[in-house]
Amino acid sequence: MPTETVTLIIRHRVASGQVPAYETWLRRITRVASDYPGHLGVDVLRNDALFTSVLRFASAGQLQAWLDSAERGALIAEVTPLLAEEESKELHDGHEFWFVPEQRAATPPPRWKQACITFLVIQPLTLLMPLLWQPLFSRLPWLGSYVPSNVLITLSIVLSVVYLFMPRVTAWFAGWLSAR
């Protein structure tokens, strides 16, 4: 039976002064979750004291096994005093997590709008990143060869899109993304 990737978005608003303790806890729970069957990865986006974790599993059953696990239960009990409010969880099929509105009643925008925003973010980076890396590639020719340079440029683009630009751009265009 084929499995379909599921994405769980968990938002934690951390209480004032508790961010360092929360970050330590977050590293630990991420490590524990990665050992569960079907775990495909986690991305964490931070906006001040709001941490958004995007957790992906190969199937809904495998995700549920993680959510129901005693280990996760103990870790959630441990982090609760560090939070300013109760955790928010949203389950989504596929990979549309960049475009999920924070309001639970809202629906994701049409795919053509998602494609426009993604192009708007990635296109300038594909032009800019090679220029930013060029001085280093000039000094270290082996690093500027085909494979290493592409790995560094692609990694730079992906990390800046996921952690820096996409959360901000989707917030800036929230009105347009949610308009029907």
At residue 164, the 3 state secondary structure works out as helix
64-82 average pLDDT score? 94
Of residues 47 and 28, which shows the higher confidence score?
28
In 3D space, the residue among 55, 50, 54, 42 whose CA is nearest the CA of residue 85 turns out to be 50
134 and 173 belong to one structural domain:
yes
State the pLDDT at residue 21.
96
H/E stretch holding 45 reads strand 39-47
**Confidence check: pLDDT of 3 > 50:** no
64-92 average pLDDT score? 92
Looking at 97, 128, 162, the residue that finishes a domain is 97
85-100 average pLDDT score? 69
44 and 75 belong to one structural domain:
yes
State the pLDDT at residue 1.
38
83-102 average pLDDT score? 70
59 and 115 belong to one structural domain:
no
**Confidence check: pLDDT of 92 > 90:** no
Spatial distance between the Cα atoms of 46 and 44, rounded to a whole number of angstroms: 6
Q: For residue 163, what pLDDT band results from cuts at 50, 70 and 90?
A: confident
Looking at 31, 62, 97, the residue that finishes a domain is 97
User: Cα angle at 81 between 19 and 22, to 5 degrees?
Assistant: 25
Q: Which domain holds residue 80?
A: 6-97
